[in-house]
Amino acid sequence: MEKIETARGPVGVEKIGATLMHEHIFVRNPELEQNYKNAYWDDETCIALACDQFKQLKARGIDSIVDLTVLGLGLDIRLIQKVSDRLDIDFNIVMATGYYTYKDVAPYFRMHGPGRRVDVSEPLEEMFRSDILSGIGGTTIKAALIKIATDEYGFTADLERVFAAAARVHCETGTPITTHTNAKKKGGLDQQKFLKSHGVDLSNVIIGHCGDSNDIDYLQAVMDQGSIIGMDRFGNDSYNSPENRLDTVVTMCGLGYADRMILSHDAAVFSVNTEPHFRAKIFPNWHYNYVPDTVIPELEKRGVSKAQVRQMMVENPKRILGPRR
């Protein structure tokens, strides 16, 4: 049977079900928090909160969540293991490897690598490969995607290095790539150009945060090259309004692109960057339940069919996460 890697090990593709493809569980800053305790973080409380939120999702028909918290976002795989072990329902947590930065890599990576002061093989590539083939951080939890990012600075030399490492590991393992972009700068097109030039089949790529844009020509240009686009910040109104996000998905479905979109939030159980009390006050809809409770019913009211919703929530995740042909 074809399998998808999850925090509990591989599961059959058909078990992945309705999936939120771009989320986070715990976004942290270990160096900051080790020295300056965050008043809103407590291991046991946050683990329990995560389990409760996944139970709420399951009750709403969501079967899986993809956690794109990677290096640069404070990944602690052992906390994810604790959440998975404690969760007493049939629910899938899918993890990613990768590196998240808008401009520069950390000093360790500047010092280590081919031709660098510590002249070794590319550590980013080795880390990505190990996370996919052996398990993240010495655990048995294997990554099912590679997460990378560009933003306002475009492709810096460091980001070219990250993308090249991701492309090489993708071509070797078949692991899909998912990205963070600056949609207003049409960053997805630059990402596609780079990845394609490095041998990546763009149908195995999700270009993230495209829901921040209402530029139909841009979105079509990205999808017409084969990639899935992330309509993945529902509930975060700082980049686009709820009405615009909904209208754009409706328009794209009407144009026949339901097979190249995923719906999600880019939300978190806890983020040290925007703690729960801040999110609840400023972005009250930025939580995991918003897509099943509000977005999907609103899309259906506006003429999006149940088959199209299933395509975006079930079939597209199955295709991108499933084994490569």
Q: What is the pLDDT of residue 189?
A: 98
All residues at 6 or more sequence positions from 52 whose CB lies less than 8 Å from its CB, including other chains: none
Per the structure block, which two tokens stand in for 3? 């399998």
Q: What is the pLDDT of residues 170-229, one digit of tens each?
A: 999 999 999 999 999 999 999 999 999 999 999 999 999 999 999 999 999 999 999 999
**pLDDT exceeds 70 at position 140:** yes
Average pLDDT score over residue span 68-78: 98
pLDDT at site 196: 98
Nearest to residue 148, comparing CAs of 120, 176, 117?
176
pLDDT at 1: 52
226: Cβ contacts below 8 Å, ≥ 6 apart: 201, 202, 203, 205
Q: What is the mean pLDDT of the chain?
A: 97
DSSP SS3 for 31: helix
Q: What is the pLDDT of residue 2?
A: 87
Q: Could you give the C-alpha distances from 218 to 84, 96, 137, 248, 257, in angstroms and in order?
A: 38, 27, 38, 12, 13
Q: What is the mean pLDDT of residues 166-171?
A: 98
Number of H helices, E strands in the chain: 14, 14
Whether the pLDDT of residue 169 is over 80: the answer is yes
pLDDT for residue 77 is more than 50 = yes
CATH architecture type of domain 3-321: Alpha-Beta Barrel (3.20)
* pLDDT at residue 323, as a whole number: 79
- Predicted pLDDT of residue 325: 45
Mean pLDDT score, 1-24: 95
d(CA 299, CA 41): 35
pLDDT reported for residue 227: 98
At 324 the pLDDT is 63
